[in-house]
Amino acid sequence: MTSIWQHVLMTKKDLSQADIRDRRTTPPATGAPAGCRRILLIVLVGFALTVASCASADTEVSSPNRTQAASPEDTPALADVRAEWVTVKYRDTPANVAEFAELGRNDSSLVIDAWYDASNDYMVISLTGTNYHYCAFPTSAWDDLRSASSMRSHYHDHIKGNYDCRYVGTVPE
């Protein structure tokens, strides 16, 4: 008769041999080892952060669809030309609003910003981030928008549907 300790030792030995057999018959794991995957992940995250920080340093965006032109130091040909371009819906080319009068208030959830060129009776208005343009837009209408107690109501009541450059006036260069 075997003692309990001999039985335990034999069982442990049998389990160890079974474990060795399983290791021989189990196919190796596919893909890179876990350590390599961690290193690859760290490298990719570092690369993504570097690219993101470089991109944000190169491009300064002050509001939706609005970018600053290159600084005069970077481009000598632009030393005497100031540019601030906005993309405008229903306009083929971006508009340079650098010399336009700016709305100068931001108390509306609809009207984010607006720019007015009195010499061409032309207005560009940013409505929740999308820029639209209006032609044959009189100075009095611009003054009324600037002094309106509610720019949202004023826009809907007096501007929307009027002065649309697709139907009225000429789009300036």
Residue-wise pLDDT for 28-45, tens only, equals 555 556 566 667 656 666
What is the model's pTM?
Answer: 0.54
Query: Distances in Å between the alpha carbon of 125 and those of 36, 50, 65, 164?
Result: 53, 35, 11, 12
pLDDT tens per residue, range 93-137: 999 999 999 998 889 999 999 999 999 999 999 999 899 999 999
CA-to-CA distance for 92 and 65, rounded, in angstroms?
Answer: 14
Three-class SS state of 66: strand
Backbone angles phi, psi at 127, to 5 degrees: -110, 110
